[in-house]
Structure 1
Amino acid sequence: MHDDTLPPANPAEAAILAAGLRVEQREMPQLIRLVARRLPADAEAVREALCQVRRKGWASAMVAMANRAGEVWARRAEAEAAAATIDEPEPSEDRLRAALDAAIRTRLRNAAPRPGAALEAVEAELVDVTGTALSPERHAALARAVAEAHGLDESESARFSRAAAHVEERRRQELRAAEANAREKRREEVKRLREWERSLVGIEALPGLLGCTEREALRWVAAGLLPVARKLRLPKSGGRERWEFDPAELKPLRAEVAGWREAERAQNDSRQGDRSGRAPQRGGTEQGLARAAALAGRGGKVANAAVARAAALDRYAAHFATARAMIRRIVIVTGPTNSGKSHTALDRLARAESGLALAPLRLLAHEFREALAARGVEAALSTGEERILAPGSKHLAATVEMCPFHTPVDVAIIDEAQLLHDRDRGAAWTAALMGVPAREVFVLGAPECVPMVKRIAELCGDEVEEISLQRKGPLHASTTPVPLGGLKEGDALVAFSRRDVMGLREELVKRGRKVAVVYGALSPEVRRAEAARFRSGEADILVATDAIGMGLNLPIRRVIFSTLKKFDGEERRDLNSQEIKQIGGRAGRYGHHEGGVVAVLAGAGNPEAMRALLDAPHAPPPELRPQVQPDADIIAAVAKEIGTDSLFGVLARIQRAVLRKDDPNYRLAELTQQMAIASAIDGVANLSLLDRWTYAMCPVDERDNGITRLARWAVDHGAGRPVMPPLAGRLPAPERASGEELQRAEKVHKRLVAWRWLSLRFEGAYPDRAEAEAETARLDAWIEDVLKQQRRGRVENAPEKARVSSRRKAA
């Protein structure tokens, strides 16, 4: 308590003493500050201030109450909202409980229009947060709370709770059965692989298997007549390898040994005839060796060569029959950012009778469509989660993964071809470049892409032409670091994480700057809105991740790096020359600025090192073999060959057996996430192998429990239950939204992307597409409003300041 024997030190303290309220000594400093803002302050003003001081403690007490009651669905946000409604300084525990109950009911009622959908939404959110499902008891309690919140009477509430418990118990049983089935399938497939590996023999066993000499065996291996199943690098051997062979593949070849020997004798006779001037015997050598090569690889049902032949990844170009039937001309258009690559190709595409523009992002596919419209050409749109039809049109804008491989066109554009080297998406560019059925293919990218594009054209037998463009305005590096307070209108500050972007934005807002933000978690619609805000001058500084390095035509004067390091998914490393050029090249947009400047934020790195990277010559890529990955046809072919219905088994065999690591032409793309999804859903009943492969290709974020959520959706799909779209529930007013609530909305939006992606492929299982699109649009609008409100953070307390000012004037 405050010591009443001491005289008040200031008018605020005097007002507090005059109010006669019980105040703890530890509360007094904050209370004095709050009352000082309300002077002149009567007893009611002091009472309001004391409630404000205590609300944080009340919220903590409410959270503890909910935890004791097992109400894990009660969030801190509900407790804070409940505390804000209490206007008596010393509420009872019952009063706190009643306020919390009211806030929870409001949230459950606003989670979705219908009780069933609200229950699904709240439980899905809890699974996302904890990674585990509610216990049956907690699920039942949540169902009752949802029913009461939606105004169901006692009998209706009981029926709803029973039905919800029945559905949930069935789902749990199905999930357990699916997990057990998947584990059993994995065990079987791992056992099959290990048995195959144990059956392999070294080169020393070939004479016994084939009835030949060791020298003959070595010759036939070198000639490719005997398939090598596996190559193992021996430890501490200076790079030596052990070659291993599958006896099941070799035994059927024993009958071909005589033919091989005959072919070799004919070949030797031919060489001797050439040396002696005799006419060689034609046909024997070529036919014999060709027949031998064709027979090499025959084997048993699970033979490695047979699996490889079924997948045909080592002959990947031949997989695209429509493109191979055409005479294609590849036009490689290279140049730095801001050199007009897209403009050149779009002009040609617009003049074509039919055409296709493939972009790396949905945002850029929209921009291609709009660019064609500006040239008088209407085009349809196809992305992973969206379709826009254009009846009668023969032009299409699409993301690279949506390339149509069976509809010939006159002209196609493939943008950002340097992504051929991307670890996660490079295989999609390989497929698009090899498979796009266009007579003229414009491949746009940085100069680093040229060697691999040429390699792919060679594998496809396509003619190649190169066009090299120069930047339309000068770009130079500043050797003077830029302080945060030295940012000017038209500057773009680049960071490499959402957290850093938002932290820099907050610092700039505190300095009175108007800021737009662009980062990967934002939808294309919000990114475009933020870009428009920067372009129009409503925001004078852009803070962004490297998402601006691809597309987004922005009038940036300077690109300023807040760091010269980034986390690439595996490690935190220095930026490379290509990244500096791609991102920094956004500065000095032609038509807006005479030139561009690339700089480093003060304390963020060495400007000289950044300049060296910007000016560095283009380094040859370390790997020229394009990445390839299976598609549905290859998955089906391999499954048939090895006699399995396990997606995990098919992918494991593809990883082990289909494409050797030393293949001269191709390398297998990373399949880690697809295998993780396969492991999670392989045991789901009533989903075919190709259905499971479709799920494995769905864009989900593993860090956001994406695979767990996908498995739940797959179980509902297999059981014939409709999969409901994720919902965000009631959103707070944008001006009151916290950073946590903004991030939660972004996550729900990302989940909606995955849901909409699946709804285009399984319309019957994902039926409420209109609701999903409406929720997506609502989140887009709310997130953009939040970002606008946060940029006005300096004046958020304006009403309160005005009230204090009026009181002072009245005094």
Structure 2
Amino acid sequence: MNLSPAELALQKALQETSITLTAQEEPRLLKLIARNLQPEQTEIPPATFNKLLCIVRRKDWAKHLNKQIQKENKHWIQSEDIAWAVSFIHDPSPNEESLQSALDQALHTRLRQSGKSANDAFQTLYTDLLDSGKPIIGSKSLRLMAQDVALAFNLEPDDTEHFIEDIIYQEQKQQQKDHEIHQKARDRKKDEIKKQREWEDSLVSFKEIPTLLHCSHKEVLRWIAENKIPVAQKIKKHGKDIWRFDPKEIKALRPQISNWRNGSPVKEKKNAFINLGDLNIKNKVLASVAAMDRFAGHFVTARSLKRRITIVTGPTNSGKSYTALKTMAESESGIALAPLRLLAHEFKEALNERDIATSLKTGEERQLIPNSKFLAATVEMCPMDNPVDVALIDEAQMLTDPDRGAAWTAAIMGVPARHVFVLGSPECIPIVKNIARLCDDPWEEISLQRKSVLQTASSPIRLNQLHAGDALIAFSRREVLDLRAILMQKGHRVAVIYGALSPEVRRAEAKRFNDGEAEILIATDAIGMGLNLSIKRVIFSTIYKFDGTSRRLLTSQEVKQIGGRAGRYGKHETGTVGLLAGAGDPDFIRRQLEAAPEKQKDLRPLVQPDSDIVQLIANEINSDSLFGVLTRLKRAVLRPDDPNYRLAPMEETFAIASALEGVQGLELKNRWTYSVCPVDDRDNGIQRLIRWAADHAAGKTVAAPSSGKLPNPSQASRQELERAEKRHKRLVAWRWLSLRFPDIYPDLESAEKTTRELNDWIESVLRQQRRKAEL
């Protein structure tokens, strides 16, 4: 049997080195030798052989080191530390000491890059560890981690011991504080739940009211209809409405009975406004006090105007925004409300291009132009006081979103504009009409057609058939980055857009794609709103999406919203929507694009309280507990079968409110502000927020999160990119709070500078078009 040149070279090298290969190593090594041999060559230099054998054995070394750090519970050692360590081992048969030495060198190098001092590096390392979701480490592991940091910074033995002991002391102190806050929160929650149950147990039925008020049943019914008698709780039992009443409040009404009998009954209008500044309101139904079952009446300025609503619907690329902005530009004043900070910026720029000075207001930034009568803002920042001529509220299909839908309800009901343009897909029409009815506002509808042709691909599209102008859609960060790596290996220049990226980075990536610097865009459904993209074809890599609860098929609205980005008007006459080969039924995309608008099962708009309503309920139930207020709101203020409104789930708000119960010394209105701060509990967001709130309550300032020292973008791993994205999230929450509590969260300018540095670094990493080898 004739041996190949590579086999001959391997055989000679093994004889010279006396190295034994495993069955798995030999075929991999043969491939590498074959690539390195010159024509007619049958020998390989010893140094080259050793180098190639090290490449083959790196995975096994990495597995060995990974098992070792798992055994020692050193969660702070990252996969890139291991990858860096094994890449610098040049002995194909290293001993345990050599492997550990290489790992120590890699770890210490990273630690020195993560902070200016040992303490800074430790805090960055520890925060990253908590945000990664790794288990909270015990004192033994904490000591080892501090020791690694001390070794990285070459601290002297005495300084090392002092540093480690100080870290242990501070962490034990913090954990004790966290425990006390948690215990206090648990105890207060029990008390509030007990109070709620006692209150509910004290309620009486309708038939007992005549006895308590010394009146007839007929009079009771009339006075309830006139909102003179408060219904404390409305429940449905066996299909029947059951009203329950607070006997203390009922008895307090006795002195007013004679006046009620002598006066003529006046029925309140459905949306009559309760004066939220009057904190002495008594003997009202909690729902009326909070104005939740007559939510439209809460917005006194909007209700005082003669408003009209224009519902502008149409698919993507139909010119909805243009229609509304044109009318706004011709008016004296206006408000443009967007679902994303990025889109708010685009509205501001669109008005600026028409020589209209426009202010900007989002959750984490303010750009206020003196004397400007125009504002671009995110929906949650909608001002409710100063009347304007025209308002634009975009992406109204978000009304049904459980997390943010209540913000659209409040904006449409409360924006103080004489002419309100509500923009969205056709699915939003019924619920917007219902809101108009609740506001007693006249409405009209404008239906727009797509300006460029949209077609479906005739057959599935393979990866090797992608070309310039294509957008490949995935539904997770991991899938986006995996596809990016595959396409870069095939020689494509790629841009990416996904939810964890800041608006600034998304815009930079979009610009690279639009300018042709990147041929292909890989994105999640984050491209569905707020970006102008010059896409020829949208290609779905999957027809399934995990929505936080389950993995499900894409809805027709999702396919239309994302697929509609293909064929941007003015750039491409035709847009094509297709499916990646092997991703599912090829006809699925066509069926979803052609499907009729989905009918909403529940047309009641979602609502949630604001700070005024929270304070009023607190006064009414005599409690300073945010958890208690929200519990009463959920259980008694707005019943689930209310005919007009639905209470938003507010799950994260409840979670934060529950945790805040253990923080003493924080006013109720400030607790409410913290409870609606944008955080992600998957990144330890709530625990970090509670620590900040505890410092706030103690009168301490909260330093802005650090970006840490960032490695060269060309050498950054996927894990380092993810850490930078999480650090950016911390800064977003901190900046959001800084705008509301500037004395507690000072030096906003420095935090904004750090944010820009992180954005620039992340964008530089994404610009790298050569895939970094990762284990």
Q: Indicate whether the TM-score tops 0.5.
A: yes
Give the drift of 1:408: 3.6
Question: What's the counterpart of residue 717 of structure 1?
Answer: 696
Whether contact under 8 Å (1:479, 1:608) holds in the other structure is no
Task: For residue 621 of structure 1, report the CA deviation from its aligned partner.
Answer: 3.0
State yes or no: 1:328 paired with 2:307: yes
Residues 627-666 of structure 1: matches in 2 within 5 Å? Answer: 627-666=606-645
Task: Report the CA distance shift for 1:195/1:523 in structure 2 as closer, same or farther (over 3 A).
Answer: same
Please say if 1:565 is aligned against 2:547.
no
- 1:21: Cα distance to partner? 4.7
Partner of residue 85 from structure 2, selected from 82, 85, 93:
82
Query: Is the contact between residue 105 and residue 146 of structure 1 (CA under 8 Å) also seen in structure 2?
Result: yes
Letter aligned with residue 473 of structure 1? S
Q: Counterparts in 2 of 1:41-440, with a 5 A limit?
A: 41-66=44-69, 71-130=74-133, 132-206=135-209, 208-211=211-214, 226-234=229-237, 237=238, 239-253=239-253, 285-286=264-265, 305-440=284-419
Using the alignment, how far apart are the partners of 1:517 and 1:738 within structure 2?
16
Cα separation, 2, equivalents of 1:390 and 1:147: 50
Name the counterpart of 2:40: none
| Shift in CA distance, 81/574, structure 1 to aligned 2, threshold 3 Å | closer
Cα distance, 1:359 vs. partner? 0.8
Per-residue CA deviation, residues 407-427 of structure 1 (Å, 9 max, x unaligned), is 443332211122122211111
Q: 1:714–1:12: structure 2 CA closer, same or farther, 3 Å change rule?
A: farther
Equivalent of 2:421 in 442, 463, 467: 442
Give the fraction of aligned pairs with identical amino acids, expressed as a percent. 53
Structure 2: distance between partners of 1:240 and 1:761? 46
SS of 2:181 mapped into structure 1: helix
Contact 1:555/1:588 (CA < 8 Å) preserved in 2?
yes
Letter in 1 for 2:32: L
Query: Bigger shift: 666-675 or 503-512?
Result: 503-512
Once residues 392 and 216 of structure 1 are traced to their aligned partners in structure 2, the CA distance between those partners, rounded to angstroms, is 55
Counterpart pick for 1:35 among 15, 29, 33: 33
Shift of 1:655: 0.9
Deviations 1:280-322 (A, max 9, x none): xxxx6445x779x99x9xxxx9999553343222233333333
Work out whether residues 114 and 710 of structure 2, in 8 Å CA contact, stay in contact via their aligned partners in 1.
no
Q: Within 2, Cα distance between the matches of 1:510 and 1:97?
A: 32
Distance 1:257 1:478, change over 3 A: farther
Give the 3 Å change call, closer, same or farther, for CA 438–480 of structure 1 in structure 2: same
For the 8 Å contact 1:181–1:682, the answer to whether it is kept is yes
- Structure 2 partner of 1:553: 532
1:566/1:573 contact within 8 Å kept: yes
SS in structure 1 of the partner of residue 349 of structure 2: helix
The question of 1:578 aligning with 2:575 is answered no
Is the radius of gyration larger for structure 1 or structure 2? 1
Q: Counterpart amino acid of 1:460?
A: C
Closer, same or farther in 2 for the Cα pair 1:305/1:192, shift >3 Å? farther
- Give the secondary structure class of the aligned counterpart of 2:735: helix
Distance 1:338 1:778 in 2: 34
Distance in 2 between the 1:648 and 1:729 partners? Answer: 36
2:142 match: secondary structure: helix
Cross-structure match for 2:498? 519
Cα gap change, 1:378/1:258 in structure 2, threshold over 3 Å: closer, same or farther?
Answer: closer
1:561 is displaced (CA, Å) by 3.0
Match of 1:281 in 2: none
Root-mean-square deviation (Å)? 3.5
Deviates more, 1:376-385 or 1:52-61: 52-61
| Aligned residue identity for 1:397 | A
Using the alignment, how far apart are the partners of 2:81 and 2:555 within structure 1? 46
- Paired residue for 1:455? 434
Distance 1:302 1:683 in 2: 30
CA positional deviation for 1:492? 2.5
Q: Structure 1 residues 12, 352: closer, same or farther in 2, change over 3 A? A: farther
Counterpart AA for 1:654: L
Instruction: Give the SS at the match of 1:10.
Output: helix
The letter for the 2-side match of 1:565 is Y
Contact 1:479/1:611 (CA < 8 Å) preserved in 2?
A: no
**Out of 14, 19, 30, which is 1:17 matched to?**
14
Cα distance, 1:113 vs structure 2 = 1.9
Per-residue CA shift, 1:672-721, capped at 9, x if unaligned?
Answer: 11011111122113322222211111112223332223223333433444
Per-residue CA shift, 1:548-594, capped at 9, x if unaligned? 22121112223333333333233333333332322222222111122
- Residue 150 of structure 1: CA displacement? 3.2
Distance change (3 Å), C-alpha of 1:57 and 1:483: closer
CA contact (8 A) 1:131 1:705 kept: no
* Contact persistence 2:395–2:424 (CA under 8 A): yes
- Partner SS for 1:578: helix
Q: SS of 1:760's equivalent?
A: helix
Of 675, 678, 694 in structure 1, the residue corresponding to residue 673 of structure 2 is 694
Distance 1:715 1:148 in 2: 33
The alpha-carbon deviation at position 476 of structure 1 amounts to 3.5
Tell me the matched-pair count. 759
**Code of the aligned partner of 1:17:** L
Give yes or no for contact 2:226–2:268 (8 Å, CA) kept in 1. no
SS state at 1:396 partner: strand
Q: Aligned partners of 1:356 and 1:220: how far apart in 2?
A: 42
Structure 1 residues 378, 45: closer, same or farther in 2, change over 3 A? same
Task: Give 1:653 deviation, angstroms.
Answer: 0.9
- Gap runs ≥5 in structure 2: 38-42, 275-279
Q: Distance in 1 between matches of 2:312 and 2:58?
A: 63
For residues 7 and 335 of structure 1, what CA distance do their matches in structure 2 show?
Answer: 66
> 2:445 matched to which residue of 1?
466
Kindly indicate whether the alpha-carbon contact (under 8 Å) linking 1:304 and 1:658 is maintained by their aligned counterparts in 2: no
Query: CA–CA distance in 2 between the matches of 1:774 and 1:56?
Result: 40
Tell me how far apart the structure 1 counterparts of residues 524 and 242 of structure 2 sit (CA, whole Å): 46
CA–CA distance in structure 1, aligned partners of residues 22 and 478 of structure 2: 38
| SS of corresponding position for 2:450 | coil
Seen in structure 2, the aligned counterparts of structure 1 residues 577 and 459 have a Cα distance that, compared at 3 Å, is: same
Relative to 1, partners in 2 of residues 1:109 and 1:196: Cα closer, same or farther, differing over 3 Å? same
TM superposition shift of 1:509: 4.1
- 2:202 partner amino acid: S
Is the CA contact 1:491–1:541 (under 8 Å) kept in the aligned structure 2? Answer: yes
Cα distance in 2 for partners of 1:551, 1:714 equals 33
Cα distance change of structure 1 residues 176 and 536 upon mapping to structure 2, 3 Å threshold: same
Partner of 1:802: none
Distance (whole Å) between structure 1 residues aligned to residue 476 and residue 74 of structure 2: 34
TM-score (norm 1): 0.85
